[in-house]
Amino acid sequence: MKQIQFFDTTLRDGEQTPGVNFNVNEKVQIALQLEKLGVDVIEAGFPISSPGDFACVKAIGEAVQTTSVTALGRCREQDILRVKEALALAKQPQIHIFLATSDVHMQYKLKMSKKEVLESINHHVRFARRFFDIVQFSPEDATRTERAFLIEAVQAAISAGAKVINIPDTVGFTNPTEFGQLFADLKANIPQFDEVIFSCHCHNDLGMAVSNSLAAIEHGALRIEGSINGIGERAGNTALEEAAVALHIRKGFYQATSHIVLNQIKNTSDLISRLSGLPIPRNKAIVGANAYAHESGIHQDGVLKNPETYELITPSLVGVKKNSLPLGKLSGRHAFISRLEDLGYSLNKEEIDQSFRYFKQLCDVKKEVTEADLHALIAEQSAEQTETAVISHLQVQYMTNGVQSAVVRIENKDGVREDAATGAGSIEAIYQTINRLLKQDLSLTSYHIQAITPGQDAQAEVHVVVKDATGTPFHGIGIDYDVLMASAKAYLNASLKSQRLPSTKQTKTQLTEVLTADCN
Ligand code: KIV
Ligand code: ZN
């Protein structure tokens, strides 16, 4: 069996999803969960792109213990030095550098000839090898690169010392047959093919990212790059959870294994969904709410007689727990802690004390506290620990066909402030009040509400995206059993992130300016 490495780029390419903007704490939390999931490499960010991204890569490099951490840079010495600086304290650092090789990118974006591109690859891979043992090189837009030139570029990178060659399908153009053939061509033409790791990085524009990645594996790739839930630029990246389970279920066919701890998939996917504000479609493979639901009578009958009739994947394989009994007001501390442990949380004594207090408060308003409620409770707790201000009072007056009004009180270390404002709707009134209290001018670009659990006493989870005057987006999340309070918390969360500049992610325009200003 071959061992397939999983390279997670949720925090780099995944964060390139419009409206997704993780802060440092969230990124570290995600990286630690990725470590539990067993990925081999975490791509923590693109340090030269912004001071915030640099800080995140540094924090992740320091927090992660056993998993390799890498970061992205262009073929430029200053990018490589910035990665070196950010990963100075990482235990297993790697670097990932890229340069486009397709005609359209070389002519219009880089304005470089083939010769210049080859020289740049040679120079920068050698330069990176001075600081990193493992240098990964990506010929960007490889699938639209003239094949003979792609082989030359890959050969140049290997000769200069690259130990990993990643083949990106940057615009999601390829299909499984062609992508498999591309790897077969590399194998046939690169004498050192088996001495380095070949990797694939697929985008999902035509919905084929996972299939393309598996085709690469069939033809010699030993590493899959992707993100959790497939988040990423445009239509996203290869969904790593899908690729991992496909390899496992069809290992007879692929003859491959990985280090992925499959029963951590659900927790990881839930975390990414919550922090990115991107809900998982019910019918999504592996982690969607319907993935293990059998609706038709014939299917239900078959599954009751023998699950193998219609159940390809056992829910517990990926950490989906069915029929776990909800907790309630009679549940004790021990049951509470053991359920949190089942869900993958390891809290210290102080955190347990606090979360148990929240749990008891929740039991006063909810008859049954489900796993989703527990995830929400822990998310709330960690938000409160990092938040610099909280809403301590919210009052809304609603009038049919009239102007709505809100009173909001915010507490922070400097004291308590209260204000009131009106709006066409209750949410607008609350958000105008928060704007006045924080003396800010933000525009709301997205508002999304979902019930975390079924039933009338469900908790509400609200996700908002706001933009500041520079157009930088900030995502906020708020959870509460009252929809208005959840909405207020989400807006405050996004507002506080916008005040903690520099942002970890710059706007597309700012980023393009930084990256193109000195491109050549
Ligand atoms: O899609 C792409 O080409 C990339 C590279 C930086 C690998 O993300
Ligand atoms: Zn990409």
Please report the DSSP string for 363-383 in residue order: HHH-S-B-HHHHHHHHHHHHH
Residue nearest atom 5 of ligand 1, based on CA coordinates? 140
How many angstroms does the Cα of residue 126 sit away from the middle of ligand 2? 23
Say which residues have a Cβ less than 8 Å from residue 120's Cβ, sequence separation at least 6. Answer: 75, 99, 112
3-state secondary structure of 139: strand
Q: Which atom from ligand 1 is nearest to the alpha carbon of 166?
A: 7
How many angstroms does the Cα of residue 202 sit away from the middle of ligand 1? 8
Say which residues have a Cβ less than 8 Å from residue 80's Cβ, sequence separation at least 6. Answer: 73, 95, 97, 124, 127, 128, 131
Strand order in the sheet with 415-423: 389-397, 404-412, 415-423
168 CB within 6 A, ligand 1: yes
The pLDDT assigned to 503 comes to 45
Rounded Cα gap, residues 317 and 241, in angstroms: 12
Rounded Cα gap, residues 86 and 50, in angstroms: 12
Contact assessment for residue 245 and residue 37, using Cβ atoms and an 8 Å cutoff = no
Question: Whose atoms come closest to the Cα of 169: which ligand?
Answer: 1
201 CB within 6 A, ligand 1: yes
How many angstroms does the Cα of residue 12 sit away from the middle of ligand 2? 9
Strand order in the sheet with 443-451: 443-451, 460-467, 473-480
* Pocket perturbation via mutation, ligand 1, pick of 170, 173, 227, 231 by most ligand atoms within 8 A of CB: 170
Q: Which atom from ligand 1 is nearest to the alpha carbon of 72?
A: 6
The pLDDT assigned to 481 comes to 86
Rounded Cα gap, residues 80 and 97, in angstroms: 8
Phi, psi for 511 (deg, rounded to 5): -65, -45
Q: Report which of 281, 318, 433, 293 is spatially closest to residue 38, judged by C-alpha positions.
A: 318
The pLDDT assigned to 302 comes to 81
Q: Report which of 14, 17, 42 is spatially closest to residue 28, judged by C-alpha positions.
A: 42
Residue nearest atom 1 of ligand 1, based on CA coordinates? 170
How many angstroms does the Cα of residue 22 sit away from the middle of ligand 2? 18
**Which residue's structure tokens are 């120079």?**
123
Contact assessment for residue 198 and residue 2, using Cβ atoms and an 8 Å cutoff = no
Rounded Cα gap, residues 458 and 362, in angstroms: 11
Tell me, rounded to whole angstroms, the distance of Cα 234 from its chain centroid.
Answer: 14
Q: Which atom from ligand 1 is nearest to the alpha carbon of 9?
A: 8
Q: Mean pLDDT, 10 residues at a time, over the chain (520 residues)?
A: 97 90 90 97 97 96 98 98 98 98 98 98 98 98 98 98 98 98 98 98 98 98 98 96 98 98 95 90 92 78 84 91 75 89 84 90 85 81 75 95 95 92 97 96 92 79 90 86 94 88 51 50
The kind and range of the H/E element at 485 are helix 483-499
For 454, the token pair is 């079924």
DSSP string covering 144-172 = GS-HHHHHHHHHHHHHHT-SEEEEEETTS
How many angstroms does the Cα of residue 170 sit away from the middle of ligand 2? 5
Residue nearest atom 2 of ligand 1, based on CA coordinates? 170
Rounded Cα gap, residues 158 and 193, in angstroms: 9
